[in-house]
Amino acid sequence: MPQYIYTAMDGAGREQKGKLTAANEEAAALALKSKGLFPTSLKAVNKAEKAPKTAPKPGQKKAGSGLNLALGPMVINRKDLTITTRQLAILLGAGLPLIRSLRTLENQAKNPAVKIILGKTADTVEGGATFAEALSEHPKSFDKLYLNMVRAGEASGAMEVILDRLASFMEKAARIAGKVKSAMIYPTVVLTVSISAIIALMILIVPNFSKIFADLLPGEPLPAFTNLIIGISNTLISHWYMYVGGVGGVVVSYIVIVRIPALKWYVDWIKYNMPLFGPIISKTAISRFSRTLGTLMSSGVPVLSSLAIVKETSGNETVAIAIQKVHDAVKEGEGISKPLGATKIFPDMVISMVEVGEETGKLPEMLDKIANTYDEEVDNAVGALTSMIEPLMIIGLAVIVGSIVIALFMPLTRIIEKLS
């Protein structure tokens, strides 16, 4: 039977190297797992002792380099990363070694970014690096949350469990984000169509009525409301660039403001507390905080490291500052519940459940329950918002269009009287 050279992690997170004899790679991997070792590299002796590949000849491109240059920096998007993580967890759970699992996913990947990054990761692991070290070479694809969970998986020797948990986390986060985005599509479309209809009305219809009034009511004053609508129409036609510049200025100003931490806090605070959209934003932030912290802690990441990662992935400066205060308090020896309550941005129900979790020693499970609860509340809030926005937008459009129609018909009564 062939011999295999292996590199593996034991239960204490120490790296172990050695040789063993087995019928095939699957049998070798199972033999290592039965000894409490998690293989990160497994190669047959005859393959491991092959001479290194020769350097490419002058003018010859290294494999994969041309594709890198053609496509620029490779980044795995969140959807592909979730699918790849789930597949990797399944392969590892079936007993395949890490490198073979990566090679399998590399060969079947259709996305060039996934193929190249998985290939580079497998090469780095074969060179003696840990899985987390190999992933850290691609920070745009694997964030700190991902890397820390992989490190925890390597330390615990249960990489397939951690990756499965990580995939579930990303799937739930994507599901909530997708529901919020899909709920915003309808109001956005209705608002865009409404604004377009109003602009068309002001540019195409109002000027024609203005000419009619000038021809049939020469020298006579028009009602003040009619003059206001005609004045807005004339300004929109003759000074359209001012409106376009104003909208562009608002967009550019927002982009600049959110890049300044001190100002971004005010913007996020307004979002967090604004009517209609505020409850959805706050519930989504609480759900993300609870699920991220619970997933990290249940995976074995230390609480201070978990809080630091949660802060960076919060997506809201107001929440990030609150989590930093909790982090500082925990660093001084306090629990999580009291400093969390002192931030004044988390509901009492969340504080109570966190406190119960700390007292019972089941904080990760309690955080997961909080996240599930708030996921449902986000669904309900999104549905309520959609139901509320639809009639409000219809009423608003009716009021604006009706006002324009009334302003145009007010002089028509005088014209009818004059003609009669």
Q: What pLDDT, on the 0 to 100 scale, is given for residue 62?
A: 41
pLDDT, tens only, 219-239? 778 888 888 988 888 888 888
Q: What's the rounded Cα separation, in Å, for the pair 328 and 44?
A: 50
Confidence category of residue 39, pLDDT binned at 50, 70, 90: confident
Give 129-132's long-range contacts (Cβ < 8 A, gap of 24+): 130/9, 130/15, 130/40, 130/154, 131/40, 131/98, 131/159
Taking CA atoms, 107 is separated from 35, 66, 104, 114, in Å, by 30, 18, 5, 10
Share of the chain above pLDDT 90, in %: 4
Q: What pLDDT, on the 0 to 100 scale, is given for residue 147?
A: 87
Question: Rounded to 10 degrees, what is the CA torsion of 29, 31, 36, 42?
Answer: -30
Q: What pLDDT, on the 0 to 100 scale, is given for residue 53?
A: 43
Ranking 49-63, 94-108, 202-216, 252-266 by mean pLDDT, the lowest is 49-63
Which whole number is the average pLDDT over 75-101? 89
Confidence category of residue 61, pLDDT binned at 50, 70, 90: very low
Task: Judge contact between 155 and 358, C-beta under 8 A.
Answer: no
Kindly list the strands in the beta sheet with 38-44, ordered across the sheet, starting from the edge strand earlier in the chain.
15-21, 3-9, 38-44
69, pLDDT greater than 60: no
Q: Which residue has the tokens 């109002």?
A: 206
pLDDT, tens only, 281-292? 888 888 888 888
Q: What residues does each domain of the chain span? A: 3-48, 74-169, 185-420
Task: Judge contact between 300 and 150, C-beta under 8 A.
Answer: no
Q: What pLDDT, on the 0 to 100 scale, is given for residue 13?
A: 57
Ranking 5-14, 167-176, 189-198 by mean pLDDT, the lowest is 5-14
Task: Judge contact between 37 and 20, C-beta under 8 A.
Answer: no
Confidence category of residue 417, pLDDT binned at 50, 70, 90: confident
Q: What pLDDT, on the 0 to 100 scale, is given for residue 11?
A: 60
Confidence category of residue 12, pLDDT binned at 50, 70, 90: low
Which whole number is the average pLDDT over 145-162? 83
Q: What is the CA radius of gyration of the chain?
A: 31
Better-scored residue on pLDDT, 300 or 219: 300
Same fold, 74-169 and 185-420: yes
Confidence category of residue 366, pLDDT binned at 50, 70, 90: very high
Which CATH number fits the domain 185-420, given the four candidates 3.40.640.10, 1.20.1250.20, 1.20.81.30, 3.40.47.10?
Answer: 1.20.81.30
Which CATH number fits the domain 74-169, given the four candidates 1.10.3720.10, 3.30.300.30, 3.30.365.10, 1.20.81.30?
Answer: 1.20.81.30
Ranking 34-43, 48-57, 122-131, 388-397 by mean pLDDT, the lowest is 48-57
70, pLDDT greater than 60: no
Q: What's the rounded Cα separation, in Å, for the pair 226 and 233?
A: 11
Give the strand pairing for 15-21 and 3-9: antiparallel
